[in-house]
A and B are shown apart, each in its own frame.
Chain A
């Protein structure tokens, strides 16, 4: 039982924390949100120089080989000031998919430039009918003489509007398969859309797109890779959510300490104090669940699914409560676009929706053998 950060991890957290406070306050997000890209390619390259884009990849393919806990440390900090660079889409989703499903040559071709900050990637798994289950996939791949042909539609592709390469899931002879698609290829059309949190995604149409044989990621079990990557996405969302919740709690407590009504600080009113404490409770519970999910993200599937689903369901409840109550406690100012608290509520909606919402994870959690175990003494 050990939850202390190593020296290396403390340094990483400190570096990221300095970055978000000095170089990436919420005002930076406000400037970026109206642009067509929504983030800053220069900052992306800076992240590459700092080694952040290499964190979770094996050293053999140019990564740093750090555990997923370290990605969580970084994303938690990103969550505190709404850092908008596509780390989740490019590193966690598409990057891990290529690493886990691809060959060393494919990693060299698509991962190396991304790790260097020259490109960004996206993972296209969501479809109009797939709900929260990425294995529900209607996009079809058919074999041709020298490769494949992809046909179908993808929805809400994070960073899909700007990615240099798209990792796309499709059914090949009934089984899930993963392909790397050039967005400039003939038959690919993408429409950039704005999400509720002012970040951008793509609606993707694939009309019999020709894909070369070496663009197929030849994992033995691509469905398992996709599921693992989806869990990485969930764990990443949980970690970012913890940072977001903490920031929201901090700004709300600060407001309670400064705003005066009836001749006193409103934070002196017990009804508001208790509400703030209930927010604090959700922050601590979610943080606790998050630590477990991050540790288990690299672990065997049963422990991983249990920990990730438990934590994602807790995040949903906790982040919803904290952001909604934060707006309530800010009063009318909380409803204005000018106040930051609303930006956090919107990001929380996105984090809660992506990679399985509360119901999806409760159902999955309750379907695992750990749930029905006779004795209550299984490992956490």
Chain B
């Protein structure tokens, strides 16, 4: 078999199927927002979640026994890429991609039966309680306490932060301290908490993108049944770490960046300068080309990771750079978009002042500064690569 850059006929047919399905499935008000690059509300995200669920595609990475379609890695990638290219709402990952797979790996039968079906249908929305005001990159320093009340419950006290979409969530999965261990990674447990529990309160924070994405979530003597611990008691760190290995081939968001960069080119075609379209300005064109070249190299790295995953291989060195590079490229796409629209980039949510397709750019440019911070900041990613791949001393 020689090296080959094309997808199999079967996978190409699947790509066509997805591509032809999306325009009819995406409701007009969502399609309009996709076209103009505006953010989706949580209601709209969940509306799309339910449409994908009816089609059987909401959880492409879930095995059939839990209601997933049992797709191979390439199908998952293609579906994700096509949805990104279409600008469809990005689904909330906390249930589908985070707590769901962890429940499959570490949960008991009762937990799986209780939680997995409603994650799939979208009836219950999840958020993530990892970070705390004093435990960010140094996550193992977390201090939210869960104390045994001797009656089968934990009494939870403390504060979680960056709990994205907690204001809409029915459940939160948390890392809590159940014991003081010798090392700070010990004595942490992975605990599921009903957001309606008395003593749980949420305070949304306005982001620099002008949206309410992040929240602080407070726990004041919240009573949580001990049966809600997933995996071994005091062994939550292992559970949390397992998440890092999941779905690395999707983390680069190449489809999102390709759509964003195509958007930059379209903008530059529509913006006129004294010497013609901005896209024909040599300096602008060179900047776009430079980013495009890097994006295409990243896309190839992603394909290599995908081909490896398809063969059941453990992620190779190429997959460790996907988040690092993908997050920077997405930011750079919006830096170029801001440059392309010039003074229109000064407009902050004014109706009818700038063309529709430019409306969302300033907000996205600001909010996407988060890509190099969330999911393990890029500095943490570099620490990991330095240690585990380059073998540099601690």
Which A residues are closer than 8 A to B by beta carbons? 1-6, 67, 69, 253, 256-257, 264-265, 267-268, 270, 273-274, 276-278, 280-281, 284-289, 291-292, 294-296, 309-311, 313-314, 317, 359, 362-363, 365-366, 371-377, 379-380
B290: chain A residues within 8 A (beta carbon)? 313, 362
Q: Could you tell me if B379 and A257 are in contact, using CB atoms closer than 8 angstroms?
A: no
Cα distance A374–B266 when bound, in Å?
8
With A284-B318, A365-B292, A366-B285 given, is the CB distance from A1 to B298 under 8 Å? Answer: no
Instruction: Let me know if B33 is at the binding interface, CB within 8 A.
Output: no
| Across the A-B interface, the 9 shortest Cβ-Cβ residue pairs | A288-B300, A273-B386, A376-B262, A376-B258, A288-B301, A366-B289, A289-B297, A285-B297, A267-B392
A274: chain B residues within 8 A (beta carbon)? 379, 382, 386
Q: Could you tell me if B5 and A257 are in contact, using CB atoms closer than 8 angstroms?
A: no
Cα distance A287–B391 when bound, in Å?
20
Instruction: Let me know if B288 is at the binding interface, CB within 8 A.
Output: yes
A359: chain B residues within 8 A (beta carbon)? 286
How close is B367's CB to chain A, nearest CB, in angstroms?
21
A379: chain B residues within 8 A (beta carbon)? 5-6
Over the window 281-315 of chain B, the binary record of Cβ atoms lying under 8 Å from chain A Cβ atoms (1 yes, 0 no) is: 00001101110111011111101101100110000
How close is B22's CB to chain A, nearest CB, in angstroms?
12
Selected contact of A286 from candidates B6, B297, B306, B379, CB within 8 Å = B297
Cα distance A278–B378 when bound, in Å?
11
Nearest A residue to B303 via CB reads: A1
Cα distance A379–B74 when bound, in Å?
15
Q: Could you tell me if A366 and B286 are in contact, using CB atoms closer than 8 angstroms?
A: yes
Q: Could you tell me if A284 and B317 are in contact, using CB atoms closer than 8 angstroms?
A: yes
Q: Could you tell me if A310 and B393 are in contact, using CB atoms closer than 8 angstroms?
A: no
With A1-B307, A268-B394, A277-B382 given, is the CB distance from A377 to B85 under 8 Å? Answer: yes
Main secondary structure, interface of A, reads: helix
Q: Could you tell me if A284 and B307 are in contact, using CB atoms closer than 8 angstroms?
A: no
Q: Could you tell me if A311 and B297 are in contact, using CB atoms closer than 8 angstroms?
A: yes
How close is B292's CB to chain A, nearest CB, in angstroms?
7
Selected contact of A67 from candidates B2, B265, B286, B318, CB within 8 Å = B2
A289: chain B residues within 8 A (beta carbon)? 293, 296-297, 300
Q: Could you tell me if B297 and A295 are in contact, using CB atoms closer than 8 angstroms?
A: no
A270-B386, A288-B298, A288-B318 known; 17 new pairs, CB 8 Å cut-off, are A1-B310, A2-B2, A4-B311, A273-B383, A274-B382, A274-B386, A286-B297, A287-B318, A291-B300, A295-B3, A310-B296, A311-B297, A363-B286, A365-B293, A366-B292, A375-B85, A375-B262
A276: chain B residues within 8 A (beta carbon)? 386, 390, 392
Which of under 10, 10 to 19, 20 to 34, or 35 or more describes the interface residues of B?
A: 35 or more
With A288-B301, A311-B297 given, is the CB distance from A371 to B1 under 8 Å? Answer: no
Selected contact of B391 from candidates A69, A253, A365, CB within 8 Å = A253
How close is B267's CB to chain A, nearest CB, in angstroms?
13
With A288-B304, A292-B300 given, is the CB distance from A280 to B5 under 8 Å? Answer: no
Over the window 1-30 of chain B, the binary record of Cβ atoms lying under 8 Å from chain A Cβ atoms (1 yes, 0 no) is: 111111110010000000100000000000
Q: Could you tell me if B261 and A257 are in contact, using CB atoms closer than 8 angstroms?
A: no
Cα distance A295–B303 when bound, in Å?
14
B300: chain A residues within 8 A (beta carbon)? 288-289, 291-292, 380
Cα distance A4–B261 when bound, in Å?
30
Cα distance A280–B288 when bound, in Å?
24
Q: Could you tell me if A291 and B3 are in contact, using CB atoms closer than 8 angstroms?
A: yes
Q: Could you tell me if B303 and A380 are in contact, using CB atoms closer than 8 angstroms?
A: yes
Q: Could you tell me if A372 and B279 are in contact, using CB atoms closer than 8 angstroms?
A: yes
Q: Could you tell me if B297 and A314 are in contact, using CB atoms closer than 8 angstroms?
A: yes
Q: Could you tell me if B307 and A2 are in contact, using CB atoms closer than 8 angstroms?
A: yes
Cα distance A268–B394 when bound, in Å?
5
Q: Could you tell me if A314 and B293 are in contact, using CB atoms closer than 8 angstroms?
A: yes
How close is B370's CB to chain A, nearest CB, in angstroms?
20
Instruction: Let me know if B139 is at the binding interface, CB within 8 A.
Output: no
Q: Could you tell me if A277 and B296 are in contact, using CB atoms closer than 8 angstroms?
A: no
Which residues between 245 and 297 of chain B lie within 8 Å of chain A, taking CB atoms? 258-259, 261-262, 265-266, 279, 285-286, 288-290, 292-294, 296-297
Instruction: Let me know if B243 is at the binding interface, CB within 8 A.
Output: no
A377: chain B residues within 8 A (beta carbon)? 19, 85, 258
How close is B327's CB to chain A, nearest CB, in angstroms?
12
Question: Among B3, B6, B266, B298, which residue has the most Cβ atoms of chain A within 10 A?
Answer: B3
Can you list 24 A-B pairs with a CB-CB distance of less than 8 A? Answer: A1-B4, A1-B6, A1-B306, A2-B307, A6-B2, A257-B392, A268-B394, A270-B383, A273-B390, A276-B390, A277-B385, A280-B321, A284-B301, A284-B317, A286-B297, A288-B297, A292-B296, A310-B293, A313-B293, A359-B286, A371-B292, A375-B85, A377-B258, A380-B300
Q: Could you tell me if A285 and B298 are in contact, using CB atoms closer than 8 angstroms?
A: yes
Nearest B residue to A377 via CB reads: B85
With A277-B382, A288-B318, A376-B85 given, is the CB distance from A268 to B392 under 8 Å? Answer: yes
